[in-house]
Structures are given as structure tokens and as C-alpha cells.
Structure 1
Amino acid sequence: MIAYVTVGADDITRAKRFYSAFLPALDYALKEGPEGLSYALPVAPGQSIVLPDFYVKPTFDGHPASAGNGAMIAFEANSQSQVRDLHAAALAAGGLDEGQPGFRASYGSHFYVGYLRDPQGNKIALFSNNPVEPGRDG
């Protein structure tokens, strides 16, 4: 199980604007501190921690942050319309389009996905794989 994911950011204010445009809609709550941004899913009393957490932080070595070549972080949405809405919100909050929401021939017939780059260049996917919704083939 993945416990947490961390991406580096040189401009925490820009990163906060971008990630806060869609992560709260996916139930992630933000905690800010001098070490950066921490997004976590809610935990009900008596429930185990829900993973993974997502962190946006300045680099530890002080060098500029850089995006991983071939690395991508995917967040699951509840529906195709939520993918479209969150993709648009993330673009309006400073993200760059890496692929408009839609079906892709190389994935399953219900896998609906949109791709973005955050202000630092990290690749982000927002997807829904809801079998109740219409699929690619009909």
C-alpha cells in the first residue's frame, strides 16, 4: 500500500492554488505548515488512517524542484463529469493541459481520464472508472 506521495515545489503559493482547485472535491483536507502543504483524507473516530496522504514541499536539498520523467500521480474522481469539472478548475488555477478529459483507446472501456501538469511540471491524472456511467463503446 502506498502511504504517501510527495512532490517538490519551488512556489508553494502557486502549488496551493493548483492543488486546492481539485483535491478538496476529492475529500482531501489541507494542513499548511512551514514545511509545505499536507493533504489527507478524513478519518472517522475509531477508523484507521486512510492512505495515501499527498504532500507538496520545498526540496530538502535546496535545489530547484523538478518533475520526474515518466512519473505521474493519479487521483480518482466519482464520475466523468467530476473529472471534467476538476480538470477545468485545475487549469484555471494555473495547471497546464496534458490531455483533455475523455476515453483512451489503450485503457478499459469505462476508464475516463484527463491529464494536467502542475505549476512545477509534475504530471497529474484525474480519472473515473465508474461502470455505471456510459463507456467508450456506447
Structure 2
Amino acid sequence: MISYVTVGADDIAAAKRFYASFLPALGYGFSEGSEGLSYALPVPHGERPLLPDYYVKPTYNGQPATAGNGTMIAFETDTHEQVRRLHAAALDAGGQDEGQPGFRASYGPNFYVGYLRDPQGNKIALICNNPDEPSRDD
């Protein structure tokens, strides 16, 4: 199980606008400190945390942050409409389009996805793989 994911950011304010456009809608809580931005799913009393947490921070070595070539972080949604709405909100908040929401022929019939780049260039996917949503075969 993945415990947490951290991405680097040179412009924390731009990153905050981008991630605030969709992570709260997926249930993530937010806190900000001197070390950057922290997003975590709520933990009911007496239960273990839902993972992974997501962190956006300046680099530890002080060098410019870079996006990993081939690295992508995917966030699961409940509906196709939520993918479309959050993809649009992230674009309005400074993200770049890497693939409009829709089905992809190379994935399963229920896999609905929209791709983005955050302000630092990290690739983000918003996916819905809900079998109760229409499939590309419907």
C-alpha cells in the first residue's frame, strides 16, 4: 500500500490554486505549513488513515522542482460528470490539458479519464472506473 505521494513545487501559491480546485471535492482535507501543502483523507475516530496522503512541497535540496518523466498520479472519482467538472476546474485554476475527459480505446470499457499537468508540470489523471456509470460500449 502506498503511504503518501509528494511532488515538488516552485510556486506553492499556484500549486495551492490548482489542487484546491479538485482535491477537496474528492474528500481530501487540507493544511498548509512552512513545509508546504498537505492533503489527507479524513480519519474517523478509532480507525486507521485512508491512504495515500498527498503533499506538495518545495524541494529539499533547494534546486528547481521538476516533473518526473513517465510519472503520473491518478485520483479516483465516482462519476464521469465529476471527472469532467474537476478537469475543467483544474484547467481554470492554472492546470494544462493533457487529454480531455473521455474513454480510451486501450483501457477497459468502464475506464473514463481526463489528464492534466499541474503548474509545475506533474501529470495528473482524474479517473472513473465505476461499473455503474455508462461504459464506452453502451
SS in 2 for 1:16: helix
Taking the TM superposition and a 5 Å limit, the aligned residue runs for 1:1-138 are 1-138=1-138
Q: CA RMSD in A?
A: 0.4
Q: Distance in 1 between matches of 2:11 and 2:133?
A: 38
- Find the aligned partners of 1:27 and 1:133 in 2 and give their Cα distance: 20
How many residue pairs end up in the alignment? 138
Shift of 1:104: 0.1
In structure 2, distance between residues paired with 1:118 and 1:50: 24
Q: CA deviation at 1:133?
A: 1.1
Q: After TM superposition, what 4+ stretches of structure 1 lie above 4 angstroms from structure 2? A: none
- Which consecutive residues of structure 2, in runs of 5 or more, have no partner in the other structure? none
AA partner of residue 43 (structure 1)? V
- Secondary structure, counterpart of 1:70 in structure 2: coil
The alignment partner of 2:87 has SS state of helix
Q: Structure 2-normalised TM-score?
A: 0.99
Report percent identity of matched pairs: 73
Give the residue type in structure 2 aligned to 1:77.
T
Normalised by the size of structure 1, how large is the TM-score? Answer: 0.99
> Which blocks of at least 5 consecutive residues in structure 1 are unaligned?
none
Alpha-carbon separation, structure 2, partners of 1:47 and 1:112: 31
Alpha-carbon distance, 1:48 to partner: 0.6
